[in-house]
A and B are shown apart, each in its own frame.
Chain A
Amino acid sequence: EVHLVESGGDLVKPGGSLRLSCAASGFIFSDYNMNWVRQAPGKGLEWVSSIGSSSDYTSYADSVKGRFTISRDNAKNLLSLQMTSLRDDDTAVYYCAKYSRGSCLTCPLDFWGQGTLVTVSS
């Protein structure tokens, strides 16, 4: 059974940094491209970042480009999101999500973690 478990969410001041993690199990993590998607309180879903299965590519939403860095450790089945220069509008629940097929980019997101809450406030 696929499991994605996010951690690392916290209350942080504007301008601060935070590192999120997503522990994956139940599938061959190293075969799958992965994503981070966020949801501000009471709002819709916003794609944040994607990474290739072997870290061969990364991509970011314009809203986080230059501030967030996605990475992965396939030996540990771990996906990470390093967030710097945090702003109030980064406040959201952050979900990690896998594509439905391993090396696919143009595929839906078939499993999501339960999310971790990041609150940016002074």
Chain B
Amino acid sequence: EIVMTQSPATLSVSPGERATLSCRASQSVGTRLAWYQQKPGQAPRLLIYAVSTRATGVPARFSGSGSEADFTLTIGSLQSEDSAVYYCQQYNNWPPWTFGQGTKVEIK
């Protein structure tokens, strides 16, 4: 099973500033890495897939990068509505699909 490790657990950022979230896999997942956003009381929403491709309707301030086992989600200019928990997920080696434990982004 591939273990996904996210850091930090919580990130506090001022509006307009950049937020950088990290995700590390215990072994290479190639480019099969996705990011999801989850707001309180809501279902997860696909943000980014294939490391860097934004899903339909996702604002351009969200970007993904990385390869093999080290990945980054960047929120270029944080908006108040970006307050959420963000999860990475590998979909290269299955079963099981595995998720990181999440990074909570808070607005200062």
Contact = CB atoms under 8 A, between A and B. Distances in A.
Interface of A: 35, 44-47, 50, 59-62, 95, 100, 105-115
Nearest to A50: B95
Contact of B45 (A35, A50, A112): A112
Contact of B49 (A45, A108, A111): A108
A105 B93 CA distance: 10
Interface residues of B, number: 24
Nearest to B45: A112
B89 interface: yes
Interface of B: 32, 34, 36, 42-46, 49-50, 55, 87, 89, 91-92, 94-102
Contact of B46 (A35, A45, A46, A100): A100
Nearest to A48: B96
Nearest to B4: A44
Nearest to B101: A44
Contact of A108 (B91, B94, B96, B102): B91
B95 A106 contact: no
A107 B97 CA distance: 10
B92 A106 contact: yes
Among B34, B36, B49, B97, residue most surrounded by chain A Cβ atoms (within 10 Å):
B97
B102 A44 contact: yes
Given A45-B99, A47-B99, A100-B49, A106 B94 contact: yes
A28 B24 CA distance: 35
A42 to B, nearest CB: 10
